[in-house]
């Protein structure tokens, strides 16, 4: 008897629950909008296995832990200005904005942004590998009136050039101004931003004065190895053993080109320089420093000339604003100001394209010193 009552009670409860569930089911209504950040989620590759990468015990497939440690020493991690997270800057200064750019989406303001990291350059979860997000040639804007835009095509380095490229400036530098023409500058940032490395390496973007003979570029511009691999040839070369003990100082995903040694002092990473098809085995750090010192001396001389004319401030910006414009007559001499920031912001001290940098500096100084 008790067994029958229990069975009857269970059936009754089941019927009630079934009725309630059926009775509450109605029209589902329109689908709501996607959640924030849904466009950036690219899904997972079929058959992907998390432990292939996320395995702290045997990290030998992609060396994720080691690469992450290297990246943590990089300027991308520590000096990439990820706080520049507004829509106009986030496309390069944040991972989230960069992914939007590479996906062809509108770059939006980024809240709680992250600096350019693993997922800026790669999409391992959706692809199942660490291929580059994008490696197609990049158009480099020309800020010299009458000079066409250039194309940067250096293999894997094309991804680097997506951000290490110039931005537009106004007014453009006139290509061949008249002797009495005046250039009116109203911005303290009258230069092609800071990402001019792609222009310097490929040998364009500097102002070439009319009447001067420019003899071309250094080997880096046309070197077969660099044209195939681009910037990673030198900046991501793995360290050799010895003298460097361990990774995480330069090369690899630090992308640093020099490192500190025990006891002090900085040493350039020459692994990329000494590979087949590049510099001979006799090439040394002293050779590199000699080039850089010569460029720095000329750059300092140009700085002093510009400072004495009041064209730049002691803090290193253009001495101009909308309320107090800088007027340069003849306008052609403004090419020296233009070249100063171009070479200064390249940051390589002439290494990217030594011949090009030298001739731009020499012609700038000569033109500026003319009566």
Cα 334 to chain centroid, rounded: 27
Structure tokens at 163: 């951000």
**Percentage of the chain modeled with pLDDT above 70:** 85
Structure tokens at 347: 């940051």
- With tokens 């630090």, the residue in question is 254
The pLDDT of residue 63 is 84
The answer on pLDDT for 22 being more than 50 is no
What integer best gives the mean pLDDT of the chain? 87
The pLDDT of residue 247 is 55
**How many residues appear in the chain?**
371
| Nearest residue to 90 (alpha-carbon basis) of 110, 111, 76, 69 | 110
Structure tokens at 40: 């950036």
| Nearest residue to 122 (alpha-carbon basis) of 62, 173, 175 | 62
Which of 41-55, 77-91, 181-195 reaches the highest mean pLDDT?
181-195
Domain range summary for the chain, segments of one domain joined by +: 49-125, 163-196+203-214+284-368
The answer on pLDDT for 339 being more than 80 is yes
Three-class HEC string of 137-174: CEEECCCECCCCCEEECCCCHHHHHCCCCCCCCCCCEC
Report the pLDDT averaged over residues 258-270: 83
Q: How far apart are CA 68 and CA 145, in angstroms?
A: 43
CA atoms within 13 A on the CB side of 267: 16
The pLDDT of residue 29 is 45
């Amino acid at each position: 008897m008790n067994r029958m009552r229990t069975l009857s009670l269970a059936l009754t409860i089941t019927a009630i629950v079934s009725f309630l569930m059926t009775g509450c089911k109605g029209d589902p209504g329109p689908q709501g909008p996607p959640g924030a950040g849904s466009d950036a989620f690219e899904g997972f590759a079929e058959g992907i296995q998390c432990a292939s990468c996320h395995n702290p015990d045997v990290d030998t497939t992609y060396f994720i832990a080691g690469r992450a440690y290297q990246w943590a020493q990089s300027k991308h991690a520590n000096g990439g200005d990820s706080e520049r997270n507004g829509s106009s800057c986030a496309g390069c200064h944040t991972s989230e904005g960069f992914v939007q750019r590479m996906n062809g989406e509108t770059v939006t303001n980024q809240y709680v942004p992250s600096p350019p990291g693993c997922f800026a350059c790669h999409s391992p979860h959706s692809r199942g590998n660490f291929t580059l997000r994008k490696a197609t040639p990049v158009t480099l804007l020309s800020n010299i009136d009458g000079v066409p835009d250039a194309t940067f095509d250096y293999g894997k380095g094309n991804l680097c050039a997506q951000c290490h490229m110039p931005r537009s400036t106004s007014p453009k530098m006139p290509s061949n101004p008249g002797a009495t023409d005046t250039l009116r500058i109203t911005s303290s940032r009258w230069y092609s931003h800071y990402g001019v490395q792609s222009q310097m390496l490929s040998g364009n973007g500097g102002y070439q004065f009319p009447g001067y003979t420019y003899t071309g570029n250094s080997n880096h511009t046309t070197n077969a190895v660099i044209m195939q691999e681009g910037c990673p040839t030198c900046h991501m070369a793995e360290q050799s053993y010895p003298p460097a003990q361990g990774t995480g100082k330069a090369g690899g995903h630090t992308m640093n080109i020099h490192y500190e040694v025990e006891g002090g002092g900085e040493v350039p990473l020459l692994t990329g320089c000494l590979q087949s098809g590049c510099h001979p085995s006799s090439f040394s750090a002293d050779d590199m420093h000699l080039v850089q010192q010569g460029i720095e001396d000329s750059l300092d001389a140009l700085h002093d000339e510009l400072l004495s004319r009041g064209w730049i401030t002691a803090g290193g910006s253009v001495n101009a604003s909308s309320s107090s414009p800088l007027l340069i007559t003849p306008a052609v001499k403004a090419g020296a100001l233009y070249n100063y920031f171009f070479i200064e912001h390249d940051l390589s001290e002439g290494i990217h394209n030594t011949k090009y940098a030298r001739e731009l500096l020499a012609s700038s100084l000569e033109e500026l010193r003319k009566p």
